[in-house]
Structure 1
Amino acid sequence: MSRKGESEDAETAVTVVVALGANVVIALAKALGGVFAGSPALLSEAAHSVADSINELFLLASLKRSKRAPDTLHPFGYGKERYFWSLLAAVGIFVMGGCFSFFQGLEALRTGSAESRAGYIAGLAVLAVALIAEGSSLIRALAQVHGQARADGRGMRGTIRAGGDPALRTVLAEDSTACLGVLVAMAGMGLHMITGNVAYEAWASLLIGALLMFVAYQLAKESRGQIIGEAADPSLRQAMQAFLDEQPEIDTVTTLLSMRLGTRSTLVAARVDLVGGLDSEEVEEVLVRVKSAMSRRWPIADQIFLDVTEASPGDRARARRERRRLDETVAEEGEGDGRGVSGADGAAGRES
């Protein structure tokens, strides 16, 4: 792993630890306040913080386990551990946070809830403190995303969408959802206290549950795609395609395949048709030179395979269509992120 990768992983670990510490304290405060106030919304928020705390432990485990060296059973390393543990974190948010919140909301609608003005004031005070703590953790996560975005020449939105680090993405989603959930819980508790109608707080609990389930689904969908085998960032693929096209010995790049093996590891496999007149020794020299140049330029591409093949007219036509689609994808992403295609190329060249 490069020094940059180690530095970013260390920064992510600090971000996760900060979020873990905040969630443990907040979960305890919310649980005590919820029992004291008899508040379903506050108990739902306590379940949310407990789920987040367990998820942070999963993320810390992923940071450690993904660094293990390759072995005979896993020749490409353990980088995808990050995605597996992030999937477990999403399941934890869904089950422990979302389902419990729904249960609390439905139970409150069915049985009603006793009022305690002093208890509700204490509960609102707990939520206010929780909002400050969750907001501080969110600011820490956003600061890290901003640093990565600046280093990669992207906007923050594009960096989050690229989803290079699932641990950071999960913490960011958890903290954002936690801040919004606290505001919903405060609104529900406040309306319940003012009107005496428990339905406001019950619906707040149901809304928190729905929010948690939605976030869990989005995180699980991202992790699923990465575990199955997701291609590298389009701008990186475009830059690699352009590099291969520029080589004088390569006539056509018929296929360029890629797959993320982890946050700092990418497999790249290309089928190329070389110009005529090269003997076997020259072919070998060309492949070694091209692979070495790609590894130096993009250290994240640590598994590169080049296959020499004879391109048919159909292969060439298909290659042109795939190149156009890739260029269109990069252009669309660049426009959505406030960057042009040249900016995307720059970000791809710095990815390491």
Structure 2
Amino acid sequence: MADPDGTSESLLTVVVAGVANLAIALAKLFAGMISGSSAMLSEGAHSIADTTTEVLLFTALRRGSRPADPEHPFGYGKESYVWAFIAAVFTFVVGAGFSITHGVNTIRSGEHTGQFLVAYVVLAISFLIESVSLTRAVRQLRRAARQRRTRLAPFLRSTADTTVKAVFLEDTAALIGITLAAAGLALSELTGTEVWDGLASILIGLLLLVVATILARSNISLLVGRAVPPPMHDEIHRELSAVPSVERVDTLLTMHLGPDDILVAAKVDFRDEATGADIEAGAEEAERRLVARFPHVQYVFLDPTRSRRR
């Protein structure tokens, strides 16, 4: 089952990001229409894509946290990856596609009204709002990384919570995109040519393309059935091997069933002198060890078997 506290925190992070992106999108589109800036309109499309993404991520969290039932005995955690994948595709098609196309058209025949001040003000305000959203996402990621006893960067690469990962990457991309838009506007104002504005729009589109690709690949991997990271796999192996009645762990398989659910299955060779009661007690102790060490481990299945090494 999903971790209620973790899910609630991710929901709040997504809601904060969604509200921020909606306000920013409206401001950017207004500034883009007033100024005629291709980069500003691309940033508006960027924020609209991010807002829609947050709605899809909210749906992912809500539907993925439903409890298990007879038809879905392991719960609905993997459904969250379906919605997160759709969000990544939306960012790819709408955000990146619009930005690159509009940037190319601007370079070819773009015109600018010269209302630079409005665009600069909106970009500055957007930068502050996006910074607040990113700060919250970073705080959540750091707390989760500390719980897993790892650093932020490795945790971000391996986390199965693709919703907060998406918020982090999108907010980071938003700050970079705002910087690119401001640079494009400034260079266009200084040189009097729209090439820089159009080029900034294209770069924003490419940035969105990179983010969408990273998120899509991550969600596909989790949908297929990704194992836990190697360091965690090794720790699970050590915990199982430390059970007194266990002689050897021959096969260890793990899989993420959702952002907060991990399945562990293992073929375990118990000691020859272990009785049926010893094996039962050893299996219970193994599960207690794993759940105490890794709270996200929800299912533990041990298969007593004679070691193939004998």
Query: CA–CA distance in 1 between the matches of 2:121 and 2:275?
Result: 78
Assess, with a 3 A threshold, how the Cα gap between structure 1 residues 297 and 196 changes in structure 2: closer, same or farther: closer
Separation in structure 1 between the aligned mates of residue 282 and residue 22 of structure 2, nearest angstrom: 56
Aligned residue among 90, 107, 110 for 1:109: 107
C-alpha deviation, 1:286, in angstroms: 3.4
Deviation readout 1:160-193 (Å, 9 max, x if unpaired): 2222321110000010000000110111111112
1:65-104 to structure 2, matched below 5 A, reads 65-104=63-102
Return the TM-score normalized by structure 1: 0.83
Q: Where does 1:225-244 land on structure 2 (aligned, <5 Å)?
A: 225-244=221-240
C-alpha distance in structure 2 between counterparts of 1:100 and 1:133, whole Å: 23
The whole-number CA distance in structure 2 between the counterparts of 1:104 and 1:311 is 63
Alignment check: 8 A CA contact 2:43 2:181 kept: yes
**RMSD of equivalent CA atoms:** 1.8
Residue pair 2:37, 2:185 contacting (<8 A) in 1 also:
yes
Per the TM alignment, residue 281 of structure 1 is displaced from its structure 2 partner at its CA by: 4.8
| 1:173–1:65 CA distance, 2 compared to 1 (3 A) | same
1:202 alignment counterpart: 198
Identify the residue that residue 28 of structure 1 maps to in structure 2. 26
- Residue 62 of structure 2 is aligned with which of 64, 67, 78? 64
User: In the alignment, residue 210 of structure 1 is paired with which amino acid?
Assistant: L
Unpaired stretches in structure 1, ≥5 consecutive residues: 317-352
* Inter-CA distance 287–151: structure 2 relative to 1 (3 Å threshold): closer
Counterpart CA distance in 2 for 1:295 and 1:33 is: 52
- How many pairs were matched up? 310
Q: Per-residue deviation at 1:17?
A: 1.3
1:224 positional shift? 0.8
Q: Partner letter of residue 24 of structure 1? A: L
Amino acid at match of 2:10: T
How does the TM-score come out when normalised to structure 2?
0.94
Q: Distance in 2 between matches of 1:295 and 1:145?
A: 21
Structure 1 residues 289 and 12, CA, compared in 2 at 3 Å: closer, same or farther?
closer
Hey, what does 1:311 align to over in structure 2?
A: 307
1:39 corresponds to 2:37: yes
Task: Tell me, yes or no, if structure 1 residue 249 matches structure 2 residue 250.
Answer: no
Q: Which of 156, 170, 175 is the matching residue for 1:174?
A: 170
Q: 1:275 to 1:150 in 2, by over 3 A?
A: closer
Q: Distance in 2 between matches of 1:279 and 1:42?
A: 72
* 1:326 aligned partner: none
Distance in 2 (alpha carbons) for counterparts of 1:10 and 1:301: 19
Deviation for aligned residue 1:280: 4.2
Q: Which amino acid aligns with 2:162?
A: P
Q: Which amino acid aligns with 1:180?
A: I
> 2-side partners of 1:123 and 1:283: how far apart?
69
* Residues 184 and 199, structure 2, Cα contact 8 Å, conserved in 1: yes
Matched, 1:134 2:130: yes
CA distance in 2, matches of 1:146, 1:276: 45
For residue 79 of structure 1, give the secondary structure of its aligned residue in structure 2.
coil
Partner Cα distance (2:290, 2:227) in 1:
17
**Could you tell me how far apart the structure 1 residues matched to 2:279 and 2:68 are?**
30
1:299 CA displacement: 3.3
Partner of 2:148: 152
Query: Aligned partner of 1:65: which letter?
Result: R
Distance 1:300 1:143 in 2: 20
- Name the CA distance, whole Å, in 1 between partners of 2:17 and 2:11: 10
What is the percentage of aligned positions where both structures have the same residue?
A: 37
Matched to 1:195, the amino acid is: T
Q: CA deviation at 1:287?
A: 3.0
SS at match of 1:181: helix
The aligned residue for residue 302 of structure 1 is: 298
Match of 1:192 in 2: 188
